[in-house]
Structure 1
Amino acid sequence: MYRWYIPVLFILLSIIVDIDGRQQSKIRPSMPFKLSHLTSNQRGNRQSTEVQQMNPCNGTYIRTNGTTCGLKEIIIGRCYQYQYTNRGPYFNYQTNTKDCTELYEAFERAVRYKPFCEINMSTYEEYFKLTLKDIKPIDRGMFWSGTNMIAHIYSNNGHNYITLEDTLAAVMLNQLTWCGKANDSIGFDYVNCPGACEENPWSDVAFWGLASKTFAELVTGEVHVVLNGSRDVTDVAFRTDSFFAKFELPNFRRDQQFNVIRVNVLLLHSPDIPIREKCGEKSLLILEDLVRQRGFDYTCEDDPDALLMIMCGNEYNARECQVARRILRQEWDAKLFGQSLQNQPELFLLIFVLFIVMLCAALLT
């Protein structure tokens, strides 16, 4: 009659054991995580992550300060595009093309396995000898300082003028990052390239310094320099430490068969920003002296019309550009709709008022 309690005791004992087991699992320290505990797929994922940390160019974009991923493919691709699609600023249909693989290999020989701080200007001599060979910009060479965007809009990819950045040598590597790595199977550091090198400051300017020097040696006739007369109070239009002052102006030809004969300065003043310098003032006087000392003629023009149009195109709502915008709109409407300007007296009134304002300003200065 008392056998009924046996199943009850068994159930109670099972519950107690189960509760104790759960409590033990809560306080039991977890086992060390070892690679041997992973499945084959998990091992592959972890190994892939470790490799990717060493080489970020492994299929997933990771932003680093190192060499640009796909450097070789980008350089060779740009070379082909420049020659076969863009045709370059000085090509015609008879121009022989350059071997893009050969150009890349010349670049690679210069920098691969070589630490950044061991680079100097002579490092890239072979590359520029090949890429800038046969370039002779006559009366079309353009240089700039503090006017990057405006100068290149004006040059129009080499169709109007030719800047260094319009050449094959620069197009292939512009805005890319690279640095070699010694004792490495890849030979390039894809993680971190030094931004500067205290023990060898020439490494910082080696590529673009030699590029500027070589390009300056090739231009002939009249050259054009676009400068900024609206820089900050602490800055000047012509800086003696600029690339133009250090690498370009000193290397203009003057004693060869084809020489530079004149340096034309185009001095810009940004809309809605105070004028800091004009032609014939301050640092422009220093530049004029340097140019004439080297035996070149010198001219300087404040805000040429073509560059004014470009600046107002970029600063559409600037105060100085609004009057020009209204006049241009009226002229364009006359062209589109056949309206004569004689039927628009308000235009002539506006021009007259503008003339009076300019006259008063001239008398007060």
Structure 2
Amino acid sequence: MEYEAGVNTAHGKSKRNLYVIAGTVTILAFAIIFVVVLICTIKTEHDLKETVMSRCQSYVDPYTSASSVHYCEDIWSAFEQAYVGKDPCSVPPEAYNPLINSFQQKIPCHKNLFWSRTKDMAHAFTKNRDCLITLEDTLVGFMFDGLKWCSSKGSKETFTTDCPGWTECPNNPVRSFWSRVSDNFAATACGNVSVMLNGSIDTPFNPGSTFASIEVKNFNPAIIESLTVLLVNKETDRTTCSDESLENLQSILSSGPLKSVSYKCRVVQQAKVKDCIDDQKTLCGNCWPETLCVPSTRLFNPRILLDKGT
């Protein structure tokens, strides 16, 4: 009996030791996971800010005598106010008002190029030709193009993973950002503006697009004179300016508060646009005749026209 008791006691001690070891390993594992998550969180926030600040400084440095670091820090601070500490599905577009007001960038009249389902072509054009400018060519668009971010309620952190997708909830940080800056880009556009639409899809003017649902609705008829649709077709496309969706766009402009804004439509072959992108000797005005594309002798750089907001 004594022998058996000794065996049982030894066995009990072994089990307790195993529990202690298992518990210690579990605690260490959780500690390691916590540290890794903390490091990753700090790193993602640092990486996002580093990317944004680098873009801002590269954009601003050649064209301002002010300290770009201080200038860009102010913009970053206004940007963070919009979403940090908030439910990632409860960040409305107006949350970015402090960002919009933190600086001013004046785009000269006749320069705004809007786009819908033609992002790559529109950007390839404005990258090589200085006569038109898209939202993503402005400071705020350039700084945040292609990035994603969010926070969580009560948090002081910025995350770049596990954020809501574009359609997951309407008031997510990224979608609300682009809604607000698109609103501002449209509201300040003046003169004769253009939009590049995709003639290869069924509905070139899609009511659910940012251009239709936000930008057109925020045009200021007091300063916009006309809108020219550049309907980009491939060789095999048969879409024309008589497309039903484009007639709907024309109807929107011809009635209500935008009736003073004249409407034009041009079918432009994709090959022609690519030629204009590749051959910079071709004047912008010859890329799609009868639109107001300022010739190369009157190029501008929008980065010069930056000022601090009030």
Q: When the two structures are superposed, what TM-score results if normalisation uses the length of structure 1?
A: 0.62
- Write the distance in 2 (CA, Å) between the matches of 1:138 and 1:114: 37
Q: 1:31 to 1:216 in 2, by over 3 A?
A: same
Alpha-carbon distance, 1:193 to partner: 1.3
- Write the distance in 2 (CA, Å) between the matches of 1:158 and 1:125: 31
Alpha-carbon distance, 1:124 to partner: 0.3
Which of 164, 170, 177 is matched with 1:207 structurally?
Answer: 177
- Write the distance in 2 (CA, Å) between the matches of 1:221 and 1:267: 20
Which of 37, 55, 77 is matched with 1:105 structurally?
Answer: 77
Q: 1:158 to 1:179 in 2, by over 3 A?
A: farther
Q: 1:261 to 1:58 in 2, by over 3 A?
A: closer
Alignment deviations for residues 153-202 of structure 1 (CA, whole Å, 9 cap, x no partner): 11127722110000111111111111122233x4334552122676x623
Q: Gaps spanning 5+ residues in structure 1: where?
A: 1-27, 60-66, 314-365
Q: 1:165 to 1:287 in 2, by over 3 A?
A: same
1:264 aligned partner: 228
Q: 1:222 to 1:114 in 2, by over 3 A?
A: same
1:216 aligned partner: 186
Alignment deviations for residues 177-228 of structure 1 (CA, whole Å, 9 cap, x no partner): 11122233x4334552122676x62337311111111011111111011011
Which of 27, 30, 37 is matched with 1:53 structurally?
Answer: 37
Alignment deviations for residues 53-107 of structure 1 (CA, whole Å, 9 cap, x no partner): 3552466xxxxxxx665222222221101112xx5xxx6x789967111100011
CA contact (8 A) 2:192 2:228 kept: yes
Q: What RMSD, in angstroms, separates the aligned Cα atoms of the two structures?
A: 3.3
Task: Please tell me the residue identity of whatever aligns with 1:127.
Answer: L
Which of 202, 207, 212 is matched with 1:240 structurally?
Answer: 207
Q: 1:83 to 1:270 in 2, by over 3 A?
A: same
Task: Please tell me the residue identity of whatever aligns with 2:101.
Answer: K
Task: Please tell me the residue identity of whatever aligns with 1:209.
Answer: S
Percent identity between the aligned chains?
A: 27
2:220 aligned partner: 253
Q: 1:145 to 1:196 in 2, by over 3 A?
A: closer
- Write the distance in 1 (CA, Å) between the matches of 2:188 and 2:47: 31
- Write the distance in 2 (CA, Å) between the matches of 1:201 and 1:83: 32
* 1:162 pairs with 2:146: no
Q: Gaps spanning 5+ residues in structure 2: where?
A: 1-13, 280-310
- Write the distance in 1 (CA, Å) between the matches of 2:146 and 2:38: 23
* 1:290 pairs with 2:255: no
Alpha-carbon distance, 1:288 to partner: 1.8
- Write the distance in 2 (CA, Å) between the matches of 1:197 and 1:149: 21
Higher relative contact order (CA 8 A, sep 6+): 2
Question: Where in structure 2 are the equivalents of 1:1-365 lying within 5 Å?
Answer: 31-32=18-19, 33-34=21-22, 47-57=31-41, 70-84=47-61, 87=62, 99-131=71-103, 133-156=104-127, 159-184=130-155, 186-189=156-159, 191-195=161-165, 201-203=170-172, 205-231=175-201, 235-255=202-222, 259-271=223-235, 274-293=236-255, 294=258, 295-303=260-268, 306-309=272-275
Size of the aligned set, in residue pairs, is 258
Q: When the two structures are superposed, what TM-score results if normalisation uses the length of structure 2?
A: 0.72
- Write the distance in 2 (CA, Å) between the matches of 1:68 and 1:237: 38
| Structure of higher CA gyration radius | 1
Give the secondary-structure state (helix, strand or coil) at the position aligned to 2:37.
Answer: helix
